[in-house]
Structure 1
Amino acid sequence: MEAKLRPIYQERASHPNTLGIVLIEKKDIVSPVTDTFDVILFVILKQAEEDVFIKHYSFDEKKAALHLVTEKQVLEWLLLGSNRKIIDWLMNGKIVFDRNEYIEKLKTELNEFPFHGRKLKMGIEFARLIRRYRDGKSFFESHQYLDAYNHIVHSLHHLARLAVIDHGFHPEVTVWNQVKKIEPEIYKLYEELVMSEETMEKRLELLFLASELLILQKVEQGSAHLFGVLEEKDSWSIQELLKHEEVKSYGIDLTGMLEFLIEKHQVHIQLEETKGVGIYHRYYAKKNF
């Protein structure tokens, strides 16, 4: 297949804007890693008008996809964990072009997984975990069991990803295979949710209780990054936090995480008078014990 596609990727390699090209072939009959395509050509560009541009090809009763992606977009995906296939492509794909060893250096950085990068990714996953867990519990308490089930599945997935990152690994597409070896108690929770013969209500009731205990065990690791930011000054408004270069990656999940940490006495609120009688500005600070 590579020989057939060589003219396509060689044309891209000739562009000075191209940083590297990785070729990923489908390994299994059904392959989520390649979106069922027989081969993916993943091209990283220094810059482009569009951050992502995709073309599809057919040849010899096979199908291929060409992904042209800017460096900025790739780094954002790696930071936010919003496109898990990228790690698999970079780590397991075949490098067919690499300007100044750009991709090799990127792979080395992924393998080393710097501690600060881990803390930020864990913070993002923890914030997502809290939102899904609390939304799911709200649905459960109002007897909306299917919606509660959907949210608890997602919360367990974020808990699994958090555990994998905490152990120094990048979550992959097959995250449950990873977490089964790293923290089997989380994997067991997932099994109980999807395989138990108990009623939906009983399964969810047990899962919310067990999940809460595991979440409480992860507060220190999951909040370390945000705590570090909060300690940069005495107090923060929500807008200041949302504009912070790193915290803005938390997005809509930041407020829910702050409220959770206030409830758990990890963050405290400072009030400042406004011109309105009995109305105060809210500021957030790390609680010192």
Structure 2
Amino acid sequence: MENLLRPIYQERASQPNTLGVLLYEKLHDQSPVTDNFDVILLIVVREAEEDWYVKHYEFEQKTAAMHIVDEQLLNEWIDKSGYRKAIDWLINGKVIFDRNEYMANLKETLHQFPEKNRKLKKAVEFAKLIRAYRECKDLYNSKHYMDANSLMVRSLHYLARVTVLEKGFHPEITVWNQVKKIDPEVYKLYEELMESEESLEKKISLMLLASDFAIHSRAEHGAEHLLNLMKEKEEPWSFGELKVHPELQAYTLDLSILLEYLVERKIIKTVLVETKGQSIFHRQYVLK
């Protein structure tokens, strides 16, 4: 396979802004990880004209997809779980060109999964978990049970990803296979949702209670990235200060609902600052 594709990637490898080329072959007949292509060529470049360029090929009854990705976008995918398949390619793919050991170092970093990166990804997934859980609860209270059920599946998926990150691993596409091995209690929640013979209303009601406990018990660890950052100063933070902080950009869209949850759980407290308006206060946040 590599020999057949060499003419395609060699042209790219000769360009000075190409950092590395990786090859990933599909493992099963049906492969969501490769969008069912037989092989993926991932080419990482620096300062590309397009952040992400994709081209499809066919040869000898085989198919290939070439992804040329700017280094900055790839790092965003890694930090924000923006394109999860790419992490699978990086971890399990074969490096076939490497400039100054760029790809080797990147694979090693993913393998070691430094604590700082892990806390950031955990905060991203935990914030998504809070949003999905709250939306599910609102739909349930509005008696939209089928939509609530969809949101419950999504919130459990985020819970699974948080659980895997707690154990120091990257969540894979087959995240429930990982959870089954490392946290049977969380896996049992998913089983109960899928297999319960209760009415939809009763099933979601029970899952909301169980999920609330699972989320509550993980609150401080899940939000550790945010809480550690807030220790940088003793004075209260305005939401505006937190929103523009460069280290929080990976989950800024879910920051507001995460803060509100932490206030409710009394992990963070609010400080009210007077404004020119009578009985109207600015709301600021500080660690409890």
TM-score range, shorter chain: over 0.9
Matched, 1:238 2:234: no
Corresponding position of 1:118: 118
Structure 1 Cα separation of the partners of residues 92 and 111 of structure 2 = 12
Amino acid at match of 2:279: G
TM-score (ref. length: structure 2): 0.97
Q: Which amino acid aligns with 2:53?
A: F
Q: What is residue 32 of structure 1 aligned with on the other side?
A: 32
Partner of 1:135: 135
Give how far 1:63 is off.
Answer: 1.6
Q: 1:259 is matched with which residue?
A: 260
Identity over aligned residues, as a percent? 53
Q: CA deviation at 1:278?
A: 1.4
Do residues 23 (structure 1) and 23 (structure 2) align? yes
For the aligned residues, what is the CA RMSD?
1.0
- Which whole-Å deviations, capped at 9, do the CAs of 1:28-70 have from their partners, x for residues lacking one? 0100110111111100001212111101112222221110001
Q: How many residue pairs get matched?
A: 287
Residue 6 of structure 2: aligned partner: 6
Q: Could you tell me which residue of structure 1 aligns to residue 168 of structure 2?
A: 168
- Alpha-carbon distance in structure 2 between the residues aligned to 1:153 and 1:252: 21
Counterpart code for 1:142: S
Q: Which runs of 4+ in 1 moved over 3 A?
A: none
AA in 2 matched with 1:239? G
Rounded Cα–Cα distance in structure 2 between residues aligned with 1:270 and 1:13: 55
Q: Offset of 1:113 from its aligned partner?
A: 1.0
Instruction: State which drifts further: 54-63 or 15-24.
Output: 54-63
The SS at the match of 2:250 is helix
Q: Aligned partners of 2:187, 2:50: CA distance in 1, in Å? A: 39
Counterpart of 1:249 in structure 2: which amino acid? A
- In the alignment, the residues of structure 1 paired with residue 88 and residue 120 of structure 2 have an alpha-carbon distance, to the nearest angstrom, of 21
What amino acid is the match of 2:15?
H
Deviations 1:62-113 (A, max 9, x none): 2211100011011111111121111210111111101111111111111111
The amino acid of 1:267's aligned partner reads I
**Paired residue for 1:149?**
149
Per the alignment, residue 74 of structure 1 pairs with 74
Counterpart CA distance in 2 for 1:30 and 1:193 is 26
Q: Structure 1: 5+ residue runs without aligned partners?
A: none
Q: 2:256 aligned with 1:227, yes or no? A: no
